[in-house]
Chain A
Amino acid sequence: METLEPILAEHPFFARLEDRHLKLLVGCAANVRFDAGQYIFRGGEEANQFYLIRHGRVAVEIYAAERGSITILTLGEGEILGWSWLLPPYHWQFDARAVELTRAIALDGVCLRKKCEEDHDLGYELLKRFAHIIEDRLEATILQLLNVYEPHR
């Protein structure tokens, strides 16, 4: 039977990951799809997955009572969605909505957390990779907050 292993192996997020670790991850992976407008998760819900986006676009949003949903960033093909599964209390902080038909690979966070506890080398590898993503997103957020296009008056 064809597995998701070749797809995971090709993804930059898993580049140079040891084969044994890749095989462990495949056991936690599943193909998923979301229609345009469909919520992938909502803030406050339990965070038990993360996603490798294969196709489409996802908006990460925050809801403000006075302003409605505000898009913080959009993610597309090849990007990773979600890291709340890594950190207690394992709840999503934001909403994620498919802007268009989106196909992804969902990795089961509960399954992954268990495997990471059993194999700390795998846990460390994953944490290093997520740390890079968190750093990039933090840097982008700082640039957004700087409002660099606002003219100096």
Chain B
Amino acid sequence: MNPIAESPITAGVNSPMLPHPHRVKRVRRETDDTFTLELEPLNGAANPASSPGQFNMLYVFGVGEVPVSISGDPTQAGLLVHTTRAVGTVTKAMVKLKRGDVLGVRGPFGSHWPVEESAGSDVVIVAGGIGLAPLRPVLFSVLANREAYGKVVLLYGTRTPADILFRRDLEAWRARFDLDVFVTVDRAMGGWRGNVGVVTTLIHRAPFDPLNSVAMVCGPEVMMRFTVKELNKRGIDFDSIHVSMERNMKCAIGFCGHCQYGPTFICKDGPVFRYDRIKPYFEGREI
């Protein structure tokens, strides 16, 4: 049997390599350098279901394709929501898109956060910077089924008050009595009355039972390394900590090898990993 002939790549319109055209419904500036895209499939086609933590490959025609986390509410079908930072050629072209423009979407790809598996436990969400985007669907999902979980805690750290993502969501979440939200910034001048300090400093203040908690962490790798250490110091085992990894993803289906991470591919086996399963690579260098 020829494995290539049988592979999904050659499966025509259902090929995971084929971008599906989507129309831009809205581009919303979140901060100075981050933005959210709301996309609808052309011709009323349905979006494939996605799980919190998964990503899509977004293709700006004539420019290029990049992986972007899904940041929308998974309980709201029909609208595809992505949040990213305008930092490279493709995302800088993406932020200039207007309502009605068309781009290509492949996906969803990758593993997801253990939302359903966390039922009955406290849920500790630790986000750094743009890392809040792939964790936002977790909050929507957990809050949609709030009674299934114990305490729910969001710890969010970012550079400055001006860099705080999803302000309206954070304000709404903070107003709830069944969710503890802690926000901190690394740097602040006058006028900021909130916390100052790195996100790891919030971990010992947060109310959760470390022996019955699932932690989900997303942010820059250095931030995640110290966060995992602090969570473990607080008593959460490594097998209850999940991290979302980022590497140079191209094909998104484990063929090209660009995102190889030890024996795994981030695009296919990740981006969400249980920490104990990648610990040796996470703690290694140049992987």
Contacts and interface: CB of A to CB of B under 8 A. Distances in A.
22 contacts: A59-B196, A67-B189, A69-B190, A70-B187, A70-B189, A73-B197, A74-B195, A76-B205, A77-B205, A136-B201, A143-B200, A146-B222, A147-B159, A147-B186, A148-B219, A148-B220, A149-B128, A149-B130, A149-B159, A149-B219, A151-B33, A151-B85
Contacts of B192: 71
A146 to B, nearest CB: 6
Given A139-B226, A143-B226, A148-B222, A73 B159 contact: no
A151 B220 CA distance: 9
Interface of B: 33, 85, 87, 128-130, 157-159, 163, 184, 186-190, 192-198, 200-201, 204-205, 219-220, 222-223, 226
A153 B33 CA distance: 13
What is the size category of the interface that chain A forms with chain B? 20 to 34
A90 B194 CA distance: 29
Given A77-B205, A99-B193, A149-B159, A140 B87 contact: no
A143 B193 CA distance: 21
A129 to B, nearest CB: 14
Contacts of B157: 149
A150 B163 CA distance: 11
Interface in A132-152: 136, 139-140, 143-144, 146-151
Interface of A: 57, 59, 67-74, 76-78, 99-100, 136, 139-140, 143-144, 146-151, 153
Contacts of A153: 87
Contacts of B129: 148-149
A79 to B, nearest CB: 8
Given A76-B205, A143-B222, A143-B223, A68 B87 contact: no
B229 to A, nearest CB: 9
Contact of A140 (B130, B189, B190, B198): B198
Given A78-B205, A143-B223, A71 B198 contact: no
A10 to B, nearest CB: 15
B128 A148 contact: yes
Nearest to B197: A73
Contacts of B220: 148-149
A100 B34 CA distance: 32
Nearest to B33: A151
Q: Which 4 interchain pairs have the tightest Cβ spacing?
A: A149-B129, A73-B197, A148-B220, A143-B198
A74 B196 contact: yes
Nearest to A141: B198
A67 B198 CA distance: 21
Contacts of B197: 73-74, 140, 144
B114 to A, nearest CB: 25
Contact of B158 (A68, A143, A146, A149): A149
Most buried by A among B85, B87, B196, B219: B196
A78 B220 CA distance: 28
Nearest to B227: A143
Nearest to B229: A139
Most buried by B among A69, A71, A146, A148: A148
A61 to B, nearest CB: 9
A63 to B, nearest CB: 12
Given A146-B222, A147-B159, 20 more contacts: A57-B195, A71-B188, A71-B192, A71-B196, A72-B196, A74-B184, A74-B194, A74-B195, A76-B195, A76-B205, A77-B205, A78-B205, A143-B222, A144-B197, A147-B186, A149-B157, A149-B163, A149-B223, A151-B87, A153-B87
